[in-house]
């Protein structure tokens, strides 16, 4: 049973339903939202302008039914056609995520304070050893911040400029950006592990590396696997976008059909991306269930 409010301003509280603090918080939130909408130039009426309505009507009229011609779907050779682009997008996401994990694991370990300089593993360590560990920690954190602060599409543009058009540029872009994201997550998970377990392993005579491998890592392995799979699902959507800068995949078809106003083919490409995302979500969910 809930208790009834009986404070000095009970009547006012009952009448308004909100305390002064809640009302102030609500008003502050409204002011922030209104300011953000003004900065973002939010204008709902733009959706109903004559030009916008004509473009939407043209997309619906010309985009239905979607293009299902054999040449568009399968192309004239093996490495051609929309379906190959879908397979290429999936391959970019798989290889890109694998490389990201390979980069994120060492960076995540050196970015965790409990691994480098703090916690039960360093109670009897010398000041010099702790200083070295703290320096490694800050350097690794800086690298991770830089990797994830640059958007994947910008990394894609840089790698396309460096090595030319093609899916390998997309692989590198996804690997670098997601290494920053995953490395930060891995480090945070390691810092949240139970220190008693790590201390027990270290107390048995294990070295610091052994204590990390047998005390910390087993505690976070299921969580890391789950978040890595979720990140792989995100990379599929990112891989589709990377085609806009020439990094291969289905994004190439999206940008070409948009530029040529081929709405029927654009509808097919959008539906293909939707099917790919739904399939990857289902597959990721199944894998997480097995790991759980």
pLDDT tens column, 37-86: 999 998 888 888 888 888 888 888 887 888 888 888 887 777 788 889 88
Neighbouring C-beta atoms of residue 206, cutoff 10 Å:
17
Residue 240, pLDDT > 60, answer: yes
* CA angle centred on 65, ends 63 and 70, rounded to 5°: 105
Q: What mean pLDDT comes out for the span 240-254?
A: 82
Query: Which positions ≥6 away from 181 have C-beta within 8 Å?
Result: 100, 104, 148, 231
- Least reliable range by pLDDT among 151-155, 187-191, 257-261, 288-292: 288-292
If one counts every other C-beta atom within 10 angstroms of the C-beta of residue 15, the result is 8
Whole-model pTM: value is 0.80
**pLDDT band at 9; cut points 50, 70, 90:** low
DSSP state of 48: G
| pLDDT bucket at 2, cuts 50 / 70 / 90 | very low
> In the prediction, which pLDDT does 26 show?
93
Tokens matching residue 213: 């491998």
Alpha-carbon gap, residue 243 to 160, rounded angstroms? 10
CB atoms within 10 A of CB 221: 12
Q: Which two tokens stand for residue 108?
A: 């995540």
Who's near 9: CB < 8 A, 6+ residues apart? none
For 76-141, the DSSP string reads SSTT-SHHHHHHHHHHHHHHHHHHHHHHHHHHHHHT-HHHHTSSGGGTT--HHHHHHHHHHHHHHH
Residue 140 tokens read as 């690794």
151 in Cβ contact with 177 (< 8 Å) = yes
């Amino acid at each position: 049973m809930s208790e009834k409010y009986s404070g000095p301003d009970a009547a006012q509280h009952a009448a308004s339903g909100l305390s002064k603090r809640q009302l102030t918080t609500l008003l502050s939130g409204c002011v922030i939202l209104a300011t953000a909408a003004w900065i973002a130039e939010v204008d709902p009426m733009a959706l109903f302008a004559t030009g916008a309505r004509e473009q939407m009507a043209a997309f619906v009229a010309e985009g239905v039914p979607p293009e299902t011609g054999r040449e568009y779907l399968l192309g004239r050779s093996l490495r051609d056609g929309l379906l190959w682009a879908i397979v290429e997008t999936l391959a970019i996401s798989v290889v890109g995520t694998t490389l990201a994990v390979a980069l994120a694991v060492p960076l995540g370990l050196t970015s965790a304070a409990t691994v480098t300089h703090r916690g039960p593993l360093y109670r009897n360590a010398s000041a010099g050893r702790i200083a070295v560990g703290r320096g490694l920690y800050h350097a690794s954190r800086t690298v991770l911040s830089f990797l994830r602060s640059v958007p994947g599409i910008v990394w894609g543009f840089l790698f396309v400029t460096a090595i030319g058009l093609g899916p390998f540029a997309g692989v590198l872009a996804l690997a670098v950006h997601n290494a920053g994201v995953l490395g930060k997550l891995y480090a945070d998970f390691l810092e949240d592990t139970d220190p008693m377990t790590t201390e027990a392993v270290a107390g048995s005579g294990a070295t610091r590396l052994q204590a990390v491998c047998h005390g910390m890592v087993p505690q976070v392995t299921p969580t890391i696997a789950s978040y890595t799979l979720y990140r792989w699902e995100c990379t599929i959507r990112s891989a589709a976008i990377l085609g806009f800068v020439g990094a291969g995949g289905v994004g190439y078809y999206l940008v070409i059909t948009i530029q040529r106003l081929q709405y029927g083919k654009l509808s097919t490409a959008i539906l293909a991306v939707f099917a790919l995302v739904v399939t990857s979500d289902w597959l990721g969910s199944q894998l997480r269930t097995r790991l759980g």
